[in-house]
Homo-oligomer: A and B are copies of this chain.
Amino acid sequence: MRKIAILGIGQTAIAEQWDKSLRVLAGEAVLAALADAGRDRADGLFVGNMLSGLLNRQENLAALVTDWVGLRGTEAVKVEAACGSGAAALRAGLMAVAAGEMDSAVVVGVEKMTDTAGAQTTAALATAADADWEAAQGLSFVAINALVMRRYMHEYGWQHADFAPFSINAHANALHNPYARLHDPITPQDYQRARMVADPINLLDASPIGDGAAALVLVPAEHVRRNGRPAVHVAGSAAATDSLAVHDRRDPLWLSAAYDSARKAYGQAGAGPGDIQIFELHDAFSIMAALSLEACGFAARGQGPRLGLDGEIGPGGRVPIATRGGLKARGHPVGATGVYQIVEIVQQLRGEAGATQVPGQPRLGMAQNIGGSGATILTHILKAN
């Protein structure tokens, strides 16, 4: 596989962007990424998106975006893996450039979720779960995660308050990210008193949806001309799956697809959890942050919350997570999230992360994007050279 560099990044704010259509949001991110890369075209465009059909009545989205950004004619496709669609689009773009089928690719994750009624959005998000065996029982997506969190607390003896550091850290970091959905610092008291959504998940355990887009420009590493800032390469890229329904898994508290994809990505990068200096994980719910930390080797099984309680997850800690706000406070425009994570790792590796910059010129960052409650998981490791 050819070595691939991420030459440009772009993103829109995550917000209720009622004045911008799907194509306009995607276009802003794509054009920003191309400008950042110093390019005006690419050989292919890969769109990560989950819900454009259900919420925006628009499929064939990749051709639409390609025309809108001035690249009419260019090869384009949409990739879907529920909330893992963004990283799945990145991986499709990586393979296209690696195969030599193209010499550059734009990857854009986009989602527009706030124009529709809440009940419709909740029903649409439930399509990430097993339609016949989970959603058909009336389980919303948050309810599925609530069952997992309750079981985890029971098995390992954690209290709800023990998960507070995940959300507090995310909100604190998002304060310094102008693209983030939420700019409200929260206290342990806020966390404990938040309105219940699906017991034990309350409003401050759950990430907010939003409208937004993020984009990347990929090129073969040998095409990168040094221009004074660190070049960022893809050192590892892997995907794995697990059963879609939680009740079909061998262990509902173990993200086997996170373990498998991280193991492969570590192998490709010649690194292990001890080498990773930033970890943008998929904290759609606080329980998922704990489970990802465990499956990727940062914490022992059942001990994910310990890292937060020990103060290890901030930008200066041992395992900095959600450094730009994470899903919890940057926001979670579902099919775009995986691309936002990569954009944020690039910001960190370039030293462009401002007040939440991980100190000491970090060289290795990891992103993990999850589709469904753990069914499709992609892990990418980026390296600054």
Contact = CB atoms under 8 A, between A and B. Distances in A.
A82 B98 contact: no
A131 B57 contact: yes
Interface in A211-270: 238-244, 248, 256-257, 260
A94 B243 CA distance: 25
A177 interface: no
A131 to B, nearest CB: 4
Contacts of A192: none
Interface stretch (A46-54, A164-172, A275-283, A325-333): A46-54
A88 B77 contact: yes
A95 interface: yes
> How many A residues touch the partner, as a band?
35 or more
A281 B64 CA distance: 23
A304 interface: no
Contact of A256 (B51, B73, B135, B256): B73
Contact of A96 (B64, B95, B371): B95
Contacts of A23: 132
Contacts of A100: 1, 98
A57 B61 CA distance: 19
Contacts of A92: 77, 79, 92, 95
B1 A60 contact: no
Number of copies: 2
A98 B100 CA distance: 9
Nearest to A76: B241
A256 B67 CA distance: 13
A66 interface: yes
A312 interface: no
A333 to B, nearest CB: 15
A372 B130 CA distance: 28
B239 A77 contact: yes
A161 to B, nearest CB: 32
Given A53-B51, A257-B73, A128 B59 contact: yes
Interface of A: 1-2, 21, 23, 50-51, 53-54, 56-64, 66-67, 72-82, 84, 88, 91-92, 94-96, 98-101, 123-124, 126-132, 135, 238-244, 248, 256-257, 260, 371-372, 375-376
9 contacts: A23-B132, A54-B54, A58-B127, A63-B81, A63-B372, A63-B376, A72-B242, A75-B241, A77-B376
